[in-house]
Amino acid sequence: MAEAQALRAVLEKFPGQQLLVIGDVILDRYWWGEASRLSPEAPVPVVRRRRSTTRPGGAANTAANLAALGARVDLVGVVGEDPEASELKSALAEFGVSGDLLLPEPGRPTTTKTRIVALHQQIVRVDEEETAAIADATAARVLAALEERLPHAAAIVVSDYAKGLLTPTLLGAVIAAARAAGIPVLVDPKGTDYHRYTGASLLKPNRLELGILAALPARDHAETLLAGCRLSAALPGTSVLVTEGADGMTLFRDSQVLAHTESAPRQVYDVTGAGDTVLAAIAMALGAGAAYPEAMQVATEAAAIAISLTGTVAVTLQHLQAAFPAAPPK
């Protein structure tokens, strides 16, 4: 593992970075309650709701994580004309992220995931969403908003949840605009078509996503090495960082394995949003001038913190500073 002091120096450069996030925003709603009996109507628990909370999810969670790590964030996405859009903007405001660039599309709901949790266990999740592609007029508004903020950004972070925002045409225009401006593009991908991400600086799939993109199984580390080499060979010049859960994460480029980092041991309570946390930490570490091995160490620790907490969480700069304490005075 890289020296804690070197990583601490990386963290000191986190505050003040300006990043632009585009992707599928989600409202994560939680109903917290107690379950002490089964329903007489069906073999399911009866949950007595005690409280409810909301959190930014999807690309909004990536933006919240970046803000919690000290970044100034512009978030571009699409929501509905509904109360959930207002709830999402309020949830983002708690992290200091503006919802002004969340553009409404008439007739489209704000993507909402409602999780019912009892005794720290998720009982069921209910999704409200529309995954069809956004209208061309909406895509034009999204691109215009992004291009307006592009001159202020050190990097673009793309969070693809396959909810209809990132059409091939829009995604291609985003990557082209960033490349023309000399700005790196970091992507959390979805789906089978890796061609959509051609020209991106970094792709960050997990094993399942890697297997789908590479059309190869990636069930363990050995299979991940083969699939990662194939995918990186198909995307020349793009780094591919694969998160492997308990097996850490592995970096590929141009069909070669460049680095591997072991996972940081933690008790796993909830993996919700951990991928967003990794993407945010990688973006911040690279923006702070870290090499990939150092950035992967920071992201591994951030992921370990995220999965040790319940619900969609934003890992803070203070969390990471506690993981890499300053050296005691001599």
Q: Could you give the residue numbers annotated as active site?
A: 276
- Residue position matching structure tokens 């291609």: 172
Q: Using alpha carbons only, how large is the chain's radius of gyration in Å?
A: 20
Q: What is the DSSP pairing of strand 239-243 with strand 249-253?
A: antiparallel
CA distance 264 to 266: 6
Q: Which residues face 54 on adjacent strands?
A: 29
Q: Which residues face 249 on adjacent strands?
A: 243, 261
Q: Which residues contact 141 (CB under 8 A, 6 or more apart)?
A: 103
Contact indicator for 176, 150 with CB cutoff of 8 Å: no
3-class secondary-structure state, position 309: coil
- Residue position matching structure tokens 């107690």: 34
Contact indicator for 270, 225 with CB cutoff of 8 Å: no
Nearest to 269 by CA among 302, 232, 215, 306: 306
Contact indicator for 70, 320 with CB cutoff of 8 Å: no
Q: 10 Å Cβ neighbour count for 216? A: 16
**Structure tokens that stand for 51 in this block:** 């409280």
